Structures are given as structure tokens and as C-alpha cells.
Amino acid sequence: MRRRRLKAWLVICILGIIVLVTRLAQIQLVSTESFSKHGINLLEGSVSQRTQEMVIDNGRGNFLDRSGKPLIYESIPVLILFPFLNHLEWPVEEVASVIGVSERKILESLDEADGPIAFGNPEPYLLSKHEMAAINKLKIPGVFAVERKYPLSDTQAEQLIGITGENPKLLEERYGDKEFSPRTLVGLSGLEKSFDEFLVGEGKTKLVYHVDGIGSPLFGINVKYSEPANPFYPINIKTTIDKDLQELAENLVDKHQVKNGGLVLLDIESNNILAMVSRPHLNRKNPFGDLGVENQMLKQHIPGSVFKTVVAAAAIDYGLALPSRTFNCSENIYGDEDPNFQHGELDFTQSFARSCNRTFADLAKELKAKDAEMMDEYAEKLSLIGSVGWKGSVFHTEDFRQLPDENLGRVFKSEEARYDNNYVALSAIGQHEVRVTPLAIANMMATIARGGDKQMVRVVESVEYHNGSKVFGFDQSKLPGDTISPFTAQKLQKLLREVVVDEEGTGRWFKELPYSVAGKSGTAETGILKDGKQNHNKWFAGYFPYENPKYALVTVNLGVHSDQGGINPLFAEMVKEIYNFDQEN
């Protein structure tokens, strides 16, 4: 009996040893890089337990403005201190003397550290080039003066540039054939997403040293400097954004309390985006939980009377805008008395300047009788239908798009609406199923200002290596398809100017600005009631100076009450600030 028990215990012990050996083999030999259902990399974990590191550069590329100023990260010269200095006698007084601080401050910061630190609290202490050189000349182990990459605290154009995050599944989907750490950042939205293949990190630059169980140096006090093997990385994406104008635009949008909306500013000659602001603000803690991650300047919205520009272009070409012709602008689009506006009889030019709905409803129905697809055709000629962002071949990608999140505009959603006079009348004044993006409207204004020259909108000029040499450049390109004639563009230019100079024009508030403005207002009913009141999208789109066009600007406030959220003050102040900017530069 006793022998039987011993045999049983012996079998149990042997089985236990086999289980332990098997488990140990799994940990040490088999599942070293993907242990358990969580896919834990045991090798990385083991290394991280016995190393301490200070990341100098996360390896991901940066975005620059048109003059080379950083938009996401900046490199700051800082003093790096390693905690093993607490166990050594080292010339702290010499370091303190170089940077002009007390020895006590340096030692206190080290005493509280559980890993390498950038000296300074709460912000890192910025070194001069002279201080950097003097510190590194001392050659003190564990003391380094380096340029470390930090995210900018006031990131601008946040929706346009987009966000990044750790997403191993997405990383594998995009780059399955390449070896990247699972913690590599990938672009999730905006330019970070569209240019991710250029930006994705080749590896971190870091200072590393090995420690024992209590944090003391394991292999002496040597610190290893580790960086990617390719000196041309990280890549820089040089955008067309002007950082100063972007900051100015961001501040003005917030000053005028635009909660949902924003602005787009284009350079007319190059058709480059100089500034783009979208609200609401991006919530980086929960970016996909609200509208903040969406760029409202690339989303389709109801444009209201801004769309009358399309009808005007078609009416000019088809001889419906005769100077002698008048319209009853005391009536609404259905021929009933208008309770809000009693303009009386107006000609075509006055109708456009004062935004008479009846005129453009009548014209649209006459155009429909000629061709039911007339408004679609002219909306496309003026770049409101289809994408306007730069697209073309980039290396192995034939249809690369700088702005892949850009919505496509439309006039009619349903085919039956195209043949219904009531729906046609509503569409003529930018209501019903008409949807356009603010970027497309800005491009329409730029196209008119250039005399009908329809171009793609660029937001990135080039992709550059870390040393500044060019990887790829994005040339100025025409938008495909028909456009308006120079004659029609000239007529539209005069109409847009009349909006401002007419004593009752909807843009008369801009008459005294330092730059002469041409443009069109829009107030669209959204069909959404808030507090029992109808909500509106409020627009002003235009270009300036009128005599020598340089900028196209669109401002929009979305979903506001009729007696709130006026957009004219924002447009006016932006024009003034741009004028001041030009005088100073």
C-alpha cells in the first residue's frame, strides 16, 4: 500500500515536472514574441525590465509649414540626466555652472527620478548651442545635451493634419511585409493617414543603459546611443499651410465663437491651402466619440444662396440674364408674397447682389426646360461636384489623394427631383438636396477669380528627406472636365463685386475693408429644429483684392439660429488681418 502511494506521488511529481518544463520551453523558446492570448512579446518585456531609456525622437515624420516651420513636433535642446548618477561622485557643480542653476536643483530633480529625465520642471530647461557644446565637452557619463523632439502644445489645423495611434492590426494590414514594432504609431485620420506610408517610423532614436534589480548600472556606466540605420529618416511633409496665417485664423474662429464650422483660405495663384480651421475642437482623449475628428471643411453641407452663383453662370451662358429683364422680388419662389423681403422689381444684377430667391428659382426652371441636367453641369464646371483636392500618381500608387476624406458635392440626390419644378426652385437657392463642401466653394471662388482656370487644391507641396532633399513634389495640376469661359467668369466677377458695392447688397458690410472684396452670402435652412427654432448654415464666400485677386476665403457657421452666429464679422476681421499680414511681410 505504501509502495503504491509512493509510485502515485512519483508519477504526480514527474507529470508536474513535465508540465513545468513544457511551460518553460513555451516561454523561453516557442512563444517568445507572442505569449498568451494577449500576444505579449516576452523578449521585449525582458529587455525593458533590465534597461532604462530616454527616447530622443519617436521616428515618425513631421509636418512643416510652407516656410519650413514645424507644425506637429519641435526639437528642443535639453539636458538629459540618468538616475545612476545618484550612486556616483560626479562634477555636478560644473554642469550647474554651465547652465546657470544651483547644484541643489539638479540633484533634487535626480533624486526624484525613477528613469532618465530631461532637466526642468514642469517644462524642460532649454539650452543654448554654447551650453550644449560646453556640457558635451565635459564627457560626464549619464549627462547629455541633445535635441529632443517634443509635440507642440498648440497644434494647429488639427483635423486637417489628423491623429495617430498604436494599432497593431492596422499596422499589419498596411505593412504586413515589413518589420515594425507593434507599438509603431500609424495615421488614423487626415494627412497623418493619407501620408502614413511616408511618415511611419523607421525606429526610435534613444539613449539606453542596462540596470540591475535596484536600478544600478549592470554593465558599467556606458550609455548607448541608438538610432535608425537610415540617416535620411524621419521624413518631413512640407505643407502649403502658412503657420502665422493658420494661427491667426484659429484665434479669430474662436474669438467669434464658431462652435461648428470654420474657414478655408486659398492662395489663388497656386491654389494652395494657406489656412484651414474646423470646429468643434478635436478631443484627443476620445477623438472618434464626437464630431471633433471630422474636418467640417471637407464635409458636405447645405450652402444656401452661395449656390446661386452656379445658376447665374448658366443663365449668363444661355442668354437668360438680359439687362432689361426684371423679376418680382417681393414674391417667394412659389409666387406668393414674401413675408420677409419686399425688394420690388429687380434686374438680374440687383437680384444677385440682394440675393432674390424668386429670380433664381425662375431662372432654374427655365434652364431645366432646356436641359434637366443643366445645374449639375454648371456645378461641375465650377468644381462643386467631385473632389477638388490634389490626386494623381505617386510612385506605385496611381490614384493617390492628398485629402481622401473629402466629400463629393451634389445638386440632386434623387432623379425625380431633377424634373420637379418645386424641387428645382429649391435647389436653385441651395436648398433641398444640394450639398457642397466649404473647400469646393473656396475653389469655385478661386476659379472665378482666375477667369475660369479650374485647378486642383494642394495642401502638401513635397515630401522631403530629413536632410531637406526632395523625395516627391506635387505639381500644380488642372482639374479635369469642362469649366466656365473667361467671358462668363468676368460676368460672375462683376456680380460678386456688386454684392459688396450695392447699397442693399448682402455683402455691403465689407465695403470699407482695406482689401476690396467680391463674394456671395448664403443662409441655408437645415431642417433641424433647436429650441423650437429653425437652424441655419451661415456662409460668406469670396475673394480679394478684387482688382488683383490673391486670396479666396470661405467662412461658415453651421446649425445656428437665424438671429445668432452671424459670419460676416469673422470674414471681415480675417480680411483685415490678412491685409496687415501682407503689409508686414
Residue range 179-193: average pLDDT?
Answer: 87
- In this prediction, residue 225 has a pLDDT band, given cuts at 50, 70 and 90, of low
Beta bridge partners of 522: 539
According to the model, what pLDDT value does residue 529 have? 66
Q: Which residue has the higher pLDDT, 414 or 241?
A: 241
pLDDT above 90 covers what percent of the chain? Answer: 59
According to the model, what pLDDT value does residue 392 have? 93
- Residue-wise pLDDT for 370-386, tens only, equals 999 999 999 999 999 99
- Residue-wise pLDDT for 286-310, tens only, equals 877 766 789 999 999 999 999 999 9
Identify the structural domains of the chain with CATH numbers, from first to last.
56-72+152-238 (3.90.1310), 74-150 (3.90.1310.10), 243-282+294-584 (3.40.710.10)
Q: Which one from 305, 351, 355, 383 is the annotated catalytic residue? A: 305
**Cell 467671358 maps to which residue?**
487
Rounded to whole angstroms, the Cα distance separating 405 from 193 reads: 10
| Residue 4 clears pLDDT 50, i.e. is over it | yes
According to the model, what pLDDT value does residue 142 have? 85
Spell out where 348-483 has E strands: 391-394, 397-401, 460-464, 470-473
Residue range 96-115: average pLDDT?
Answer: 88
According to the model, what pLDDT value does residue 48 have? 46
| Residue 477 clears pLDDT 90, i.e. is over it | yes
According to the model, what pLDDT value does residue 572 have? 97
477 a catalytic residue = no
The pTM for the full model equals: 0.87
Residue range 229-237: average pLDDT?
Answer: 78
- In this prediction, residue 210 has a pLDDT band, given cuts at 50, 70 and 90, of low
Q: Which helix (H) or strand (E) holds 439?
A: helix 438-449
Query: Best-predicted range by mean pLDDT among 43-47, 232-236, 329-333?
Result: 329-333
What contacts 24+ positions apart, CB below 8 Å, involve 96-101? 98/131, 98/134, 98/135, 98/138, 99/125, 99/127, 99/131, 99/135, 101/125
Q: How far is CA 441 from CA 19, 310, 576, 582, in A?
A: 70, 11, 21, 24
**Cell 540626466 maps to which residue?**
81
According to the model, what pLDDT value does residue 411 have? 96
Asked which of 56-65, 267-276, 488-497 is least confident by mean pLDDT, the reply is 56-65
Closest CA to 259 of 558, 574, 566: 558
